[in-house]
Structure 1
Amino acid sequence: MGYKNYKLKKKINPILSFAVIAVAIFYIVAISSGMWFPRKSGEYEIAKYNTKYEVNDLKRSFYLIDWEYSKEQKMMEIQFKVINKNFDGIENYSWSAVERFKGKLPIKPVYEDENILVVQIKDIPNKWSTISVRIALAGKNPETEIFLKFYGDNTNIKTVEHIPQRSQNDYYIKDTQNDIKTYEVSISENNKNIKMLEKEIKEINKSSSELVADMEFLTEKEAEEVQAEVERFNSLIQSDLQEIEDYKKENEEYNQRIENLKEKLKTYQ
């Protein structure tokens, strides 16, 4: 009987040991994940493309240009634009990355200069939820001395079949094409605003005409009130016309910048 109990304990002990280790690993990953991610997914913002992320202390602005994922390569590549107004000559940074439930992932810069940063994250699990990327100055700890963090999921990370090995020119082409696209989007938005303002002017003119048409049937006091309203309408129209003019001038500037960028593209190709 004692021998049987001994054999049973011998079988159970490894199972218990494995269970304890598994639970310990789970809690380590969970605690680590809690350091990287807020408790609730709604408490952190998924990074947006071409949006300024400003770091006032360092006088730097970061823009997410591209975030690609290749399942075949188990890899992600992220490209940022950097505007450094500090003139400190720092072009290198420390990086760290983690998947929300799987833990830390290897990340390394593949291209860095004054305005463009490109990093690659390797060993991406087949099933992943949210990726957190954190940036620190070169030589600083990218887990505790961070100055900026970006979150990505399937809403902003683009799935591609293959991420090619790119040259410096390739990254500059992508950056320049992105600038062109950004200006084109701004022009499109301006044109929408122009149409809205033109529609508003049309409606104001209509209302103004209706008021004036009935003036002969009004008392002197009522006519004065109508005249004041008509003048207010005219002021609104002038304001709208000025806005339209401003949008058109802005579009002219953007179109000129687009032409210049297209010429710049030719130097990379």
Structure 2
Amino acid sequence: MNAGYKEESFNQKNQKLKRSGNRLLTGFLLVFFLGYFFFFTSKIWMPAPYEGVEVTPFGTAIEGNDRTVTIDNWTYSKEDKKMEVIISIDNMAIDGIESYKWNIKSASANFPVKIVMETNKLVVLQINNVPNRWTELALTMNIKDKDIKKVERFDEIKIYTNDKLVKKVAHIKKKSPKEYEKEATQSRIESYQEQLRDKQSEQRKAKIERENTIEKMKELKEEMDFQTELEQQETQDKINTFMNEKDSLDTQINENEKIIQDLKEKITIQNNLLKNM
């Protein structure tokens, strides 16, 4: 009876070990195939990685080839799979070139670009069939093949953006030239207003730092009455350092004030343009 009991107990333990081993094998295979599936399909459903390019904030002027190029607005409709870019061009060149070749590409693809509107000062581009999965894009501006002989050199202008900067809209509809001009002007106003807020914030911070610097110099001068000659020399060195910092802040504050006034003037001019459209 003892032998039979031991044999039955051994068989039960053996069955348990087999079941445990099967579960471990099944778990391992499940993890393996899930990892395999994740790795080879991640490029399809995961967001495209950021390459870390330096993006250009909208409203920032890019200069090259005696031209100043500014992105006034860049919108994207996920539902329409479409983008629209409004670009201002200040052309100071005398080469007679007023029309350009535009291209938009990501790290892995080029997108067909349609010129919706083009004048010597304003260009509207439309990009169709934009995939949902994109992060960073490069917009390039170059001359057309027929104009190559008109200039000795034309450096391609590149402007980078990403999905954090581009404005998301429900739909993108074609507009009249006047509507595009109004949209570009309104976008410039908004860009100048944002720059103004940032510069005013920077100015407030600089003024606070200047006041703190002056207060620190005052405290150090008062301490000198109770110091030895050597300690006074060390304190004077600290005061000189703070004085240099104050001079630097004074320069920064003066420059900020000029920029603030310039931005206010630009906003006024663009508002007047908008009213007269």
Q: TM-score, normalised by structure 2?
A: 0.65
* 1:47/1:156 contact within 8 Å kept: no
2:264 corresponding residue in structure 1 = 255
SS in 1 for 2:58: coil
Tell me the alpha carbon deviations over residues 92-139 of structure 1, each in whole angstroms, 9 at most, x when there is no partner: 1123445665x55432211112221111122334x4425554433134
* 1:64/1:81 contact within 8 Å kept: yes
Identical pairs, percent: 26
Tell me the alpha carbon deviations over residues 176-222 of structure 1, each in whole angstroms, 9 at most, x when there is no partner: 22332233233222222222222222322332232222323223454
From 82, 86, 89, the counterpart of 1:75 = 82
1:14 corresponding residue in structure 2 = none
Q: Once the 2 structures are TM-superposed, how far is the Cα of residue 164 of structure 1 from its aligned partner?
A: 2.1
SS in 2 for 1:214: helix
Q: Once the 2 structures are TM-superposed, how far is the Cα of residue 265 of structure 1 from its aligned partner?
A: 0.9
* 2:217/2:239 contact within 8 Å kept: yes
SS in 1 for 2:51: helix
Q: CA, structure 1 residues 105+237, in 2 after alignment: closer, same or farther (shift >3 Å)?
A: closer
In structure 2, how many angstroms separate the alpha carbons of the residues matched to 1:241 and 1:99? 44
Residues 1:124 and 2:133 aligned together: no
Q: CA, structure 1 residues 202+151, in 2 after alignment: closer, same or farther (shift >3 Å)?
A: closer
* 1:99/1:128 contact within 8 Å kept: no
Residues 1:93 and 2:100 aligned together: yes
1:217 corresponding residue in structure 2 = 226
Residues 1:182 and 2:206 aligned together: no
Q: Runs of 5+ in structure 1 lacking a partner? A: 1-39
Residues 1:110 and 2:119 aligned together: no
In structure 1, how many angstroms separate the alpha carbons of the residues matched to 2:250 and 2:100? 48
Tell me the alpha carbon deviations over residues 69-98 of structure 1, each in whole angstroms, 9 at most, x when there is no partner: 223433221111223221333221123445
Q: TM-score, normalised by structure 1?
A: 0.67
* Rg larger in structure: 2
Q: Runs of 5+ in structure 2 lacking a partner? A: 1-48, 148-153
